[in-house]
Structure 1
Amino acid sequence: MKTKIINLYYRTIYELQSWNWTMICLSIISLELAVLLAVSLQNQNLDADFSKNSLELLLTINGLFSAILVTYFFNRISWILSLKKETYEEAVEFSQKITEFRRICDKLTEYYNVWEDDDATKSLIEHGAYKHIDYYDFKMLSMSDYKPSEKEIELIEKLQNDKRYKSGMSDLFLGMISLVRNRKSRNLFKDRELYKDFQKKGIYNLEFIEKCVEVDYASRLGYSFNKDYAYIKYYALSKKSKEYILKACERIDAKYKGAELNNKLMSEICDDMNEHYFKELYQLLLDLRKGLSGMNLLIFSILIASILFGVLLPFFTYFIVDNIELKQVLTSILVGLNFGLLFFFVTNLYGIIKREITWT
């Protein structure tokens, strides 16, 4: 309990240190100035033309200011879309690498008499009661507080207690076949991109890659190959299947050209997948999912505030509100708010520009 409190304390301190306290202080000052000006104007005996002239001035200034902000904001959006396009193209490339890895797993789990014990692998896991057990659930159940459904827990426990089950070999086969097919789906056909060796455009969804990263999927598969356990009889594969796998390895990385199909090659492929491809694709997918944040969110907020308090509400007050006293009260508030907004923008302008031109 004491350790959790200490960790929470340090996380809180870290979060507080990462905040932009200069902007927070200037925001508070701007709000106080806005309130002070609004109250001061309300306490003065202003003539009837005050509201009309003030609202006209607000509409003129903020109309121009909002137009500039809109132009600048959409220029940034265009720039962001260009970056997103580049990110998407990278994600397509990494997704294709993972597809090649899945094709290798597909070919290694496709036939009987390729594994040392079909009863512990293909016959046990692909058919019968265990055909819908997924490797992610299987591993997460033993390493965290994650809990699948009661039915899935019972099936996993039943599998582990089955006399045909062999820890290591059965686990490896389950991991590989779970990459080939969606084990929880009633449709047991493999995905279209696994047929032949076509290069497909498209990216994997974030949830799938997130699970692979969370459970160190490729690393766990690579453990058995790294230890050189004799689970797979590579010599039992046909010449065509071997060539298919080796070409897929070469498409993942040209360094595998001319390699021999064995545990060493599979260990290196799994290591590359775990340390690079899955993690890089995961970060790219996170970047693609991001909406407005940081500077873009700040500029968008200033733009919305400018349009709302500097254009829409003054327009409404100028043309719709007939009561003179109410119009003067609203005008005082709007003048105060617009002064506060302008003060905030001007005092933070240097910081905004600095963040724009400083990339490291």
Structure 2
Amino acid sequence: MDQTYDDLKRVLVKRGLASHNDVNDKVFYKEEQLHVVLVHEGSKSELAENIRKDLIKVSYGFDFKLTLNGKEKSIRYPLLADKIKEFNYKRIYKDAFLMATVITILYVCVMVILVSSVNKHPSQVTNISDKLLDVSALISSFVITYLTSKVLTVRQEKLNRVEKIKELSNKLTEFRRICHVVLESLQFWQPSEAQRAHGKHVATQITFNDLHYLNTYDERYDEIHGLMNYQTYGEIKPKFVLQIATLCKSKDIYIHNRLFLGMDFLANYIYSGKELVEWQFLQDNNMFWYVFENEWLVYENSFNFNISEHDKKRISKCAGRLDNLLANKDFTKELLVSASQIAENEIIPELTILVKKNEAKQSFMIKYLLICFSGIFVFGVLLQVILGLFLSSLIVSYIAIIAVTAIVIHILISLPAILKNEITFRPKYDYN
């Protein structure tokens, strides 16, 4: 809710509904619920909808009371309509899927009416039903077996990737530990640690992503530049500290000792795709390389590599676990650049690809076909056997024929659009 509070204030200022000075008077908590009080001469419903649309762009969910000219209105997201609109299969095959469902329902209704009024050839119906049982059993069992094996294969592939993901995750943790030691070493930052302290303070409020993608969030431009305070501390070192601190953060909280609660802490911790996205800035904005290699002549007097032996040993151990080529290396700028480039070019890209593959959901087409052919097997085989014990064979035959043909009709109408969707929107696992 705190995030919604901040987002609301930015929206009101952006739309001219409040100034920076009085926005806190208009957005407040009352009885643990968020409230907004505005006076507006224009269309109230249009204003509420515009505020809602603005918030949807930056928020995952919100619920608050908007008071316009004394009249209260609830603004909430997501509503049921939002969930329906955003349902996964709406993009390409929604229309075909719904059409297939409607046609199938109409077909079932028509067939039920017909069979209830026409019953002239029961022997033919039973004969068709028997053949349907044989065909349904053969086809559905084959398809279900194939699809089940496909699902199990995908699951096994995910399990096989886990060990590689663990290995790369452990290496990423070692790089983050190196960043942690560098950031916390008082001797490393010279001649004064004011810039480092300022950068750490900023890191409690924003991440390097907020700075790196600032053009995307223009409404925060003044806020972020005010936090960085380049006029006082310069531009590069606070940026550098912010990048290192962002890499050290865990769940958006910078905790000094979280990465060093014993060397086994975070062992085999598997990073999520959401966490990795927060660190992808390293690929095209590696401040280690920029400061210690590209602009080293400018900043060589700003860092002291003669830090404590304890910190040197910790960095050396972490670097050795990060890559065998860095084992037993002295603590130098070259070591930091090499470690950052391994994380930038090898660990984060490869780990991102593997994690995205493991987090990808099962194909809708496979789940759809598995459900449909399971239905064919149930209605075409099992129900004929089970219901045949209680109902007349003619009624059971009608139920089987109508149900199986209805499912087949649904498949024939939906499948082309579903296949098109699978081909066009197949999830891509490229790093970019």
TM-score by length of 2: 0.57
Tell me which of 123, 131, 138 is aligned to 1:49: 123
Residue of structure 1 aligned with 2:263, choices 192, 197, 201: 197
- 1:195 positional shift: 3.2
1:305 equivalent to 2:376? Answer: no
1:176 matched to 2:244? The reply is yes
Question: Does 2:293 align with 1:226?
Answer: yes
Change (3 A) 1:51 1:190: farther
1:275 alignment partner AA: N
Name 1:139's counterpart in structure 2. 212
Once the two structures are overlaid, the 10-residue window that deviates more, 155-164 or 331-340, is 331-340
Cα separation, 2, equivalents of 1:91 and 1:183 = 19
Partner residue, 1:207:
274
The answer to whether the 8 A contact 2:383-2:400 is kept is no
Identity %: 19
Conservation of the 8 A alpha-carbon contact between 2:132 and 2:380? no
Shift >4 Å, 4+ stretches: 297-300, 313-322, 327-330, 332-342
The C-alpha deviation readout for 1:112-160, integer Å capped at 9, x for no partner, is 2320244443321234x7632221112211xx42457x5xx54421133
- 1: CA distance between counterparts of 2:367 and 2:342? 40
Question: 2:45 is matched with which residue?
Answer: none
Greater shift, 200-209 or 301-310, is seen at: 301-310
Paired with 1:329 and 1:195, the residues of 2 have a C-alpha distance of 65
- Which amino acid in structure 2 is aligned with residue 137 of structure 1? D
Q: CA deviation at 1:74?
A: 3.0
Tell me, yes or no, if the aligned pair for 2:147 and 2:366 is still in contact at 8 Å: yes
Paired AA for residue 197 in structure 1: M
1:251 aligns with 2:324: no
Aligned length: 297
Question: Could you tell me how far apart the structure 1 residues matched to 2:268 and 2:231 are?
Answer: 43
User: In the TM superposition, what whole-angstrom CA distance separates every residue of 1:218-269 from its partner, at most 9, and x where no partner exists?
Assistant: 724322122223232111x111211110121111111112323221221121
Q: Which has the higher contact order (CA 8 A, sep 6+)?
A: 1
Alignment equivalent of 1:265, drawn from 320, 327, 335? 335
Q: 1:183 to 1:159 in 2, by over 3 A?
A: farther
Runs of 5+ unmatched residues, structure 2: 1-102, 416-432
Alignment-mate amino acid for residue 195 of structure 1:
L
Quick check: which one's strand share is greater?
A: 2
Tell me the distance in 2 between the aligned counterparts of 1:283 and 1:116.
39
Residue from 308, 322, 328 that aligns with 1:238: 308
**Alpha-carbon contact 1:242-1:261 (below 8 Å) kept:** yes
Indicate which of 122, 136, 139 corresponds to 1:62: 136
Q: Which has the higher helix share?
A: 1
Task: State the Cα distance separating 1:174 from its structure 2 match.
Answer: 1.2
- For the 8 Å contact 2:372–2:407, the answer to whether it is kept is no
C-alpha distance in 2 between matches for 1:202 and 1:103: 14
Post-superposition Cα deviations, 1:162-192, rounded to whole Å, max 9, x if no partner, equal 543221111111111221124843x74443x
Matches within 5 A, 1:4-15: none
TM-score normalised per structure 1: 0.67
Letter in 2 for 1:261: F
Runs of at least 5 residues in structure 1 that lack an aligned partner in the other structure: 1-30, 346-360
